[in-house]
Amino acid sequence: MGSGGFGAPVYSLEIPSIYFGITIGFFILTSAKAAQQSFAIHKRTRSFFNLYTWMVWTLLLANLLQAVINWLYIRGDLKGSVGFFFGSVILWTLQTQLALQIIANRLGLVMVNKKRTKYLKLSLLVAVGLVNIAVACIWIPARLTHSKRMLHINDIWDRTEKVLYLLMDLALNSAFLHKVRRELIAEGLTKYKLLFNFNVSVVVISLSMDILIIVMMSFPNPFLYAVFHPVAYSVKLIIEIIMADLIAKIVQSQNELKSYRSAANTNSNTVPELRMWDHTANDSEICKAEASTAHCTTEVVLRQA
């Protein structure tokens, strides 16, 4: 997860203080949006057991907790013990797993084959899990023993696994963009151009977070990258929440609904998201009269988690 030995924290507090403050600000902002979506979903389902909701809140809390313990470590209030390093790995595991699963969930919204969607999520869970296990087996011993050999192995593996996550993020977002462009915009659903263009922009921001983490691993302060980690994943979470709202606002358009119904009468196989809505209609009836409200549509879209 990081390079260099972690002895007693004697680092400068200026930059870590800025990162910690940014994380707290993101936590407040994201909590407000997450609460809005959660209550909208609960209003429709009368249940808080929604996978998307749980992933968002768990990632949100993991970011906050990691920021707090890193701040305490930098200040010297926490020592580099087995518990500290193991807890850091657990939080990092939650961040990497959930951030990618939320993106995969978004991709699943525009995939026709739902079995393939489940296979994608399961494969992602296993692949990321194997990397998480490898990190725990290398990073914790390297931090505790300060063995030159283990530290060297850790330096190489840390950068490798960060690149792997960057590539996974890029692959998932590229697949989403490809699906939106080829199977929605190309079929005449032109309002999805906004979603496509916005996603292109935020993908650059999301990937830049991964790149910054990799770059910071080479800084003189070996723990600075870890302090930035919750900032990076807070940005990724905000992006996904905004994307969910944007999808909901586009889908709720009456013009788009008419296009879906018209396409369903001619060739339901050409518009994947139409089929997703048809599948939902069995129990939600596409929210019928409430379909004009953003909250209702948000719930319909996010129920596919």
- CATH number for the domain including 31? 1.20.1070
Q: Is residue 189 situated within a structural domain?
A: yes
Q: Is residue 150 part of a domain?
A: yes
Q: Looking at per-residue confidence, does 165 or 44 come out higher? A: 165
Cα distance between residue 95 and residue 62, in whole Å: 7
94 lies in some domain: yes
Whether the Cβ atoms of residue 195 and residue 239 lie closer than 8 Å to each other: no
Start-to-end CA distance of the chain, whole Å, equals 29
More confident residue, 17 or 5: 17
- Residue 26 included in any domain: yes
Q: Is residue 3 part of a domain?
A: no
As a whole number, mean pLDDT of residues 89-118 equals 93
Cβ proximity of 128 and 168 under 8 Å: yes
Give CA–CA dist 119/116, Å, rounded: 5
State how far the Cα of 242 lies from the Cα of 248, in Å rounded to an integer: 10
**Res 287 pLDDT > 80:** no
Neighbouring C-beta atoms of residue 47, cutoff 10 Å? 9
Range of the domain at 49: 14-302
**What confidence score (pLDDT) does residue 226 get?**
86
Residue 7 lies in a domain: no
What pLDDT, on a 0 to 100 scale, did the predictor assign at position 198? 93
Average pLDDT estimate for 91-115: 93
* Average pLDDT of span 178-195: 88
Q: Residue 251 and residue 165: Cα distance in Å, rounded?
A: 30
pLDDT over threshold 90, residue 46? no
- In this predicted model, what pLDDT tens digit does every residue of 255-285 receive, in sequence order? 545 554 555 555 544 444 433 333 333 333 3
Tokens encoding 293: 């409200």
pLDDT band (50, 70, 90) for residue 301: very low
213-230 confidence digits (pLDDT tens): 999 888 877 778 888 999
Examine residue 289 and state whether it is found in any structural domain, yes or no: yes
20-40 confidence digits (pLDDT tens): 999 999 999 999 999 998 888
Number of domains the chain contains? 1
What confidence category does residue 298 fall into, taking pLDDT thresholds of 50, 70 and 90? Answer: very low
